[in-house]
Amino acid sequence: MSLLKQNITLFGENIPWLDGLREKARAVFEKNGLPNKKTEAWKYSFFKEDALGLPLVDDTPHECDGHCHESENLPFESLPIKYCNGRLTHIAHDLPRGVMIIPLFEAIENGEIKPYLNKSFALEDFPFAALNTALLDEGAFVVITKEFAAEKPIYLHYHQHDGMNRLCNIRNIIVVEKGARATMIEHFDGEADAQYFDNIVNEIYVGTDGALTHYKRMNEAGRAHHIALNSVQVKAGGNYTSFVVHGECALARTESLVRLLQQGAAAEVNGVYRLAQNGVSDITTNIRHLAPHTNSNQLVKGVLDGAAKGVFQGQIHIAPDAQQTTGHQLHRALVLSDEAEVDCKPELEIFADDVKCSHGASSGDLDVEQLFYLQSRGIPLEEAQKILIEAYLNEVFAKIEDETVAAWIKSNIFLS
């Protein structure tokens, strides 16, 4: 497994528990290897290791002269956490009371991370999260103290530039304590010709009556691979709301594993993807209702053109005692060319009998009557198509409450 053959020194190799965890993860990754076409969870979006072009972990400290973030012009105020070429380069100063953000290594050194690190998923189920764990070295630990509300969003910016093909394993642990509230915004971007592999794992813990809104805007470089696992646990009355936007890149997979652990826990996982070249977008969800009175909702819509491929795999699992539960899921795609492909796999596992569940999927082309109506008013065909595509996706964008954030996320895929 050449991905593991990295001639590097990782942080904290002398810390026995950490070393043990890495060893275990290494063994799992070596045993199972990369997923292939026979791996059920990956059958639509597996790839060969060659496709990555031998990415290397860069363990040298990043000398960021700031140019990487110069172009940034956010329309909202935030508490930034910045990664450049896979290295943590900046954490917001002057954090408000109730918000703690420290580098992962600090949290490992002082042991604070122990109750959370690799506690929300099984290594065997997530090959790339196993890789991420085997090479665990970089990340951030964020805690919103109980009953505090972080007013400014926590903004995680992952920027990639220059010619080195890097393997970037980043682990963020976000803990929203009892009654606390926060918004996190992840933003991935890379310079046009950069090639790299972002392998991200976020472990998210939402406490009793806590709430986290999680936005992700992904516009990696065209040749980049991007795999992310959001492993989320929600306690009683807690709320996790997420919104993923995938733009163009070689392959992007965002997988959300959400466990609704206790009564009244709720999750919403929404997403939009728009690809027009030959990339792959994979949005995979697994919402696990493990207690009564838990609710989930998913709405994912995509637009595909060129030779692009869109994948949606949505699993809703309802445990035997999770009565009075609702779980809804809808995936729709517009397929604008003959070469484009959409694969959709809904999976409902329902072991309780007093539940309301639904799933739906559809794919189709733009409506010719609508196109003609716009054209017959003088609007050129291409513009008419743009208008209808935006209208199609607006149903999902309308779910973003903050209009400024909504407009900023939308601009990712509507570059008009």
Partner 1 sequence: MTQKLLEIKELYAGVADGGKEIVKGLNLTINAGEIHAIMGPNGAGKSTLSYVLTGKSDYAVTSGEMQFCGQDLNALKPEERAALGLFLSMQAPVEIPGVSTQAFLKYAVNAVRKYNHLPELDAAEFLKLLRGKAKEFEVSADMLKREINVGFSGGEKKRLEILQLSLLQPKLAILDEADSGLDIDALKIVSQGVNQWHNADNGLLIITHHLDLLKQIKPDFVHIYADGRIITTGDMTLAEELEKNGYKNYVEMSK
Chain residues binding partner 1 by CB under 8 A are: 368-370, 372-381, 383-384, 387-388, 390-392, 394-395
Q: Where does residue 305 rank: exposed (0-12), middle (13-18), buried (19+ CB within 10 A)?
A: middle
Q: Which is nearer to partner 1, 1 or 388 (by Cβ)?
A: 388
Q: How far is the CB of 376 from partner 1 (least distance, A)?
A: 5
Q: 312 - beta bridge partners?
A: 283, 344
Q: How far apart are CA 132 and CA 138, in angstroms?
A: 10
**Element of type H or E holding 129:** helix 127-134
CB of 326 to partner 1, least distance (A): 25
Q: What is the DSSP letter of 299?
A: E
Q: Looking at beta carbons only, is 162 or 383 nearer to partner 1?
A: 383
Q: What is the DSSP letter of 75?
A: S
Beta carbon nearer to partner 1, 343 or 390:
390
Amino acid identity of 43?
A: K
Strand-pair category, 138-144 with 99-103:
antiparallel
* Between 64 and 379, CB nearer to partner 1: 379
- Smallest distance, partner 1 to C-beta of residue 392, A: 6
**289, 288, 296, 298: which is closest to 323 by C-alpha?**
289
Nearest to partner 1 of 75, 380 (CB atom):
380
**Amino acid making up residue 204:** I
Q: Residue 380 CB, nearest distance to partner 1 (Å)?
A: 5
58 three-state secondary structure: coil
Nearer residue to partner 1 within complex by CB, 2 or 370: 370
By beta-carbon proximity to partner 1, the closer residue of 362 and 394 is 394
Find the shortest distance in angstroms from Cβ 398 to partner 1. 9
DSSP 56: B
Residue keyed to tokens 């012009």: 73
Rounded-to-integer distance, Cα 23 and Cα 21, Å: 5
**DSSP secondary structure of 228-259:** EEEEEEE-TT-EEEEEEEE-S-SEEEEEEEEE
Q: What DSSP string describes 352-367?
A: -SSEEEEEEEEEE---
**Which one, 245 or 384, has the nearer CB to partner 1?**
384
Q: How far is the CB of 378 from partner 1 (least distance, A)?
A: 4
Cα 206 from Cα 176, distance rounded (Å): 5
Closest separation in Å from C-beta 372 to partner 1: 5
Q: Quote the least distance from Cβ 381 to partner 1, whole Å.
A: 7
